């Protein structure tokens, strides 16, 4: 069996572990969003990469540096996986905005941009406000937040992951 130079062994373990953990992060996201087929395909490749990386460490347990590189790859894989997840932004979010100023203009601006807005009066420590509920694709979230910031920089915003949407204005928009 050919001998792999030590540096290439480290590199292979590190890269394989990054790939394994990144794929695991993405697989879990797909599972929680109800995309089980995509999750299964990703899981297939994830476990193969895991076994390759682990076998490189287990067969050379006398090399403590392999274990260290494996751990570093795991940590880096978490960072890379979360970054990839932010870029692909799978799924939908539910936003709840409590306006503090310019309620009418913010609500109208959201509608002008095509968002379905549910508006309710609400009351807090500083008096009357509006509570705005909006469902949107996660990929749209950065531009949506800029829109809110532009019209009401002091608005209170809560963002929740949404697993499934049935009916309503949003469902009609998705169908177009």
Contact present, 79 and 19 (Cβ < 8 Å): no
Tell me the per-residue pLDDT of 101-137, one tens digit each, with 9 for 90 and over. 766 789 999 999 989 899 998 888 888 888 999 999 9
Which whole-number Å values give the CA distances from 47 to 20, 34, 41, in the listed order?
Answer: 7, 20, 10
Phi, psi dihedrals of residue 116, rounded to the nearest 5°: -85, 120
Question: For 33-167, where are the alpha helices, taking DSSP H only?
Answer: 36-58, 64-88, 103-112, 141-151
Q: If we measure between CA atoms, which residue out of 22, 21, 43 comes closest to residue 31?
A: 43
What pLDDT is attached to residue 100? 82
Is the pTM higher than 0.95? The answer reads no
Give the residue carrying structure tokens 């009609």. Answer: 172
């Amino acid at each position: 069996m050919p001998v792999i130079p030590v540096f290439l062994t480290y590199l292979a373990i590190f890269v394989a572990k990054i790939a394994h953990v990144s794929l695991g992060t993405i697989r879990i996201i797909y599972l929680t969003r109800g995309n089980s087929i995509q999750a299964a395909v990703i899981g297939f490749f994830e476990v193969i990469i895991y076994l390759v990386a682990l076998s490189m460490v287990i067969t050379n347990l006398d090399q403590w540096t392999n274990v260290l590189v494996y751990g570093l790859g795991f940590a880096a894989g978490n960072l890379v996986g979360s970054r990839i997840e932010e870029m692909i932004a799978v799924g939908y979010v539910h936003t709840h905005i409590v306006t503090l100023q310019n309620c009418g203009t913010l609500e109208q601006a959201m509608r002008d941009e095509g968002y379905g807005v549910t508006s309710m009066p609400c009351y807090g420590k500083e008096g009357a406000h509006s509570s705005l509920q909006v469902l949107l694709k996660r990929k749209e979230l950065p531009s949506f937040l800029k829109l809110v910031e532009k019209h009401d920089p002091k608005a209170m915003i809560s963002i929740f992951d949404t697993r499934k949407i049935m009916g309503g204005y949003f469902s009609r928009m998705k169908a177009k």
